[in-house]
Amino acid sequence: MKNIILKYIDINSADVLVEIAEQSHRNENFGENGHDWYMAYNGFLLYSICYPEWGDTNTALLLRGDMTKRDNKSIWYPKQYLSLVNDAVWDYNNHFGYKGQSIIEKCSNIIPLEMFTL
C-alpha cells in the first residue's frame, strides 16, 4: 500500500503552503512499473524526484525524491490549484489501496473547508 498525506500550513490571497506529512514510497517505487511519477485521473502529475516543490508548468507537484536532506521543504503553490492537487493525492492513495486521510490539519481557521473537495 502506498500513500501521501499533505499537511496544509497557510494560505494567502494567491498561494497555499503545504508540507508532506507522510510519503510511503519514493523514486522508482513511487508510481507503477518502476516509474517515479503518477498521473491522476484529472491529468495532474505527482513526481517523486529530487525534493518537494511546485512544478514549473502548473501541472505537477514534486514530492520527496532522492535529495533526502530536503524532505521537509515546504511548498508554496497557486491557490487556484488547491482542488486539483487534493484530488490528485486522493486518487494516488485510492489507486494504491490507502483508505486513510489524504489531508491533515486543514487549517479551517485559515482555509475554508469548502475549498477541500475530498
d(CA 1, CA 40): 17
What the block records as the C-alpha cell of 36 is 517515479
Decide: 4 and 93 in contact? Cβ < 8 Å.
Answer: yes
pLDDT in tens, the chain (118 residues): 999 999 999 888 899 999 999 999 999 999 999 999 999 999 999 999 999 999 988 899 999 999 999 999 999 999 999 999 999 999 999 999 998 888 876 555 455 555 555 4
d(CA 55, CA 95): 22
d(CA 38, CA 33): 10
pTM: 0.88
